[in-house]
Structure 1
Amino acid sequence: MSLAEKPDAAEMHLDGIPHVVATARSADPAAPLVVLLHGRGSNEREILGLADHLPQGFAYAAVRAPIAEGGGYAWFANRGIGRPTPESLAEQMAWFRSWLDGFAPAGRPVILVGFSGGAAFAGGLILNDPHRFSGAAILYGTLPFDAGVPVTPARLNGLDVFVAHGDQDRVIPEELLARTWEYLTTESAASTHARRDPGGHRISAQTLNELGTWISVTGSLPAGLDPSAIH
């Protein structure tokens, strides 16, 4: 595993916030890219450890969120847990895309994996521009409802999505988890692999195992293959 945390001076937001990225596994610029998005108050180094348990042959990049908070970092300002402000979400998504579009130009497969606050951010990215991504994993978090991104019928039509919730999760409001589950498994028209975990607000070994299988299929999906075959 390599850890690259040198911000590129050419990749700076207007406010001067650098893109700090930790990388692992394949260094091939054509390899499918899995972008790991950490939770609120965490950092890129902590979530990069997931790469040790995920499929080889992929490039993994863990991005540090741009807002310093509580000894860690956050993806957006919010109005409560799981409720981003529209202005902050839009600004930070533009900041993220300024990195992504240089690091992984259009045509390179990109899969987002977000945990908790990172799940809400990943959800915002796919709802804002669903055709930019090969898939997204929304882990133990909510979509950013009422935050300026379209959460409309068939918005994610055909997009590969992995969603996992913990039945004992007491961190994310239950109402937001229910709305997220309902939207991703029905109204969004996404090709969704859904898992309910008996635990709480953490990634279980079983979920990590299913996520790895889903990434393998989503990142190298032959034409016409239905991702639901991994169930």
Structure 2
Amino acid sequence: MTDTTRDSAASSSGSREPVVLWSKPEAERPGTPLLVLFHGYMANEEDLMGLTDHLPEEFTVASVRAPRPAGPGFSWFPLPDEPDYSMESVVESVGAVASWLDGVCGAHASVSLLGFSQGMAVATSLLRHRPRDFTCVVGLSGYCIPAEGHGFFRDEEAAAARVPFFWGRDQEDPIISAEMIETTHAWLTTHTQLTKILYSNMFHSISQRELAHVREFLTLTVRS
């Protein structure tokens, strides 16, 4: 298992920086490609760190904790079918991550994103907000947020940038609705350079076969 370090500190504005679990100590991070992980609903920053051992060794991995307590873990924003869901809750959460990234990205050779479930909604929203900031994005068993014409999402720039995107899922996933899948597929095919792979008997999870494909995708995309 990879050694990890955890950051949580007040920013210069007095607001709290997100809790972040790092795969490498700070002295070993400069110049490495950065991969930022976003966990799913009711999970936490430790949930995806087990993936690190299946990813290219040269990457620094940073797993970020969502800001809102939810059940045994945390959420990035209310789910779309919850009464307190709003575009502003999405923008606030994703905007905070973008501000944190501003403070760390300069130390790295590149920045890529990986999100699982609700974390994929965060990763795709970051891509839509800053389409030219990321080398590639990995989305696992998740979805895109409907933009509803909000100015936070720069979809025209994303369509021009065509960032490489890996999307893995199971058609029998019981969590992500068919409507959300349709919305996500429509956006990804028109705004990214999409690699889409379906996995049977994975349901709402991550499989070893999928991780092998993610490793290959990151290696080829970030090193090329």
Report the Cα offset of residue 105 of structure 1: 2.1
Q: How many residues align?
A: 216
Q: Is the 8 A contact 1:11 1:19 kept in 2?
A: no
Distance 1:151 1:166, change over 3 A: farther
Q: 160, 178, 184: which is aligned to 2:182?
A: 178
1:50 aligns with 2:54: no
Q: How far is the alpha carbon of 1:24 from its aligned partner?
A: 1.1
Separation (CA, whole Å) in 1 of partners of 2:163 and 2:85:
23
Alignment partner of 1:217 is 2:220 = yes
What's 1:114 paired with?
115
Residue 184 of structure 2 aligns with an amino acid whose one-letter code is: T
Q: Please report how far the alpha carbon of residue 108 of structure 1 lies from its aligned counterpart in structure 2 after TM superposition.
A: 3.4
Q: What is aligned with 1:164? A: 168
Given the two structures, how large is their TM-score scaled by the length of structure 2? 0.87
Report sequence identity in percent.
29
Distance apart, 1:111 and its partner CA: 0.6
- Cα 1:35/1:215, change in 2 over 3 Å: same
Going from structure 1 to structure 2, the CA distance change for 1:158 and 1:62 (only over 3 Å counts) comes to same
Q: Report the TM-score, using the length of structure 1 for normalisation.
A: 0.85
Is 1:19 the equivalent of 2:21?
Answer: no
SS in 2 for 1:169: coil
Q: CA RMSD in A?
A: 2.3
**In the alignment, is the contact (CA less than 8 A) between 1:11 and 1:18 conserved in 2?**
no
Could you tell me how far 1:174 is from its partner in structure 2? Answer: 1.0
1:208 is displaced (CA, Å) by 0.7
CA contact (8 A) 1:36 1:60 kept: yes
Q: Structure 2: any 5+ residue segments left out of the alignment?
A: none
> 1:25, 1:57 within 8 Å by CA — same for their partners in 2?
no
Q: For structure 1, list consecutive stretches of 5 or more residues without a partner in the other structure.
A: 222-231
Mapped contact 2:76–2:118 kept (Cα < 8 A): yes
What is the aligned partner in structure 2 of residue 73 from structure 1?
A: 74
- Report the secondary structure of 2:217's partner residue: helix
**Aligned partner of 1:79: which letter?**
P
Tell me which residue corresponds to 1:225: none
CA distance 1:56–1:106, change in 2 (3 Å): closer
- What is the match of residue 226 of structure 1? none
Aligned to 2:104: 103
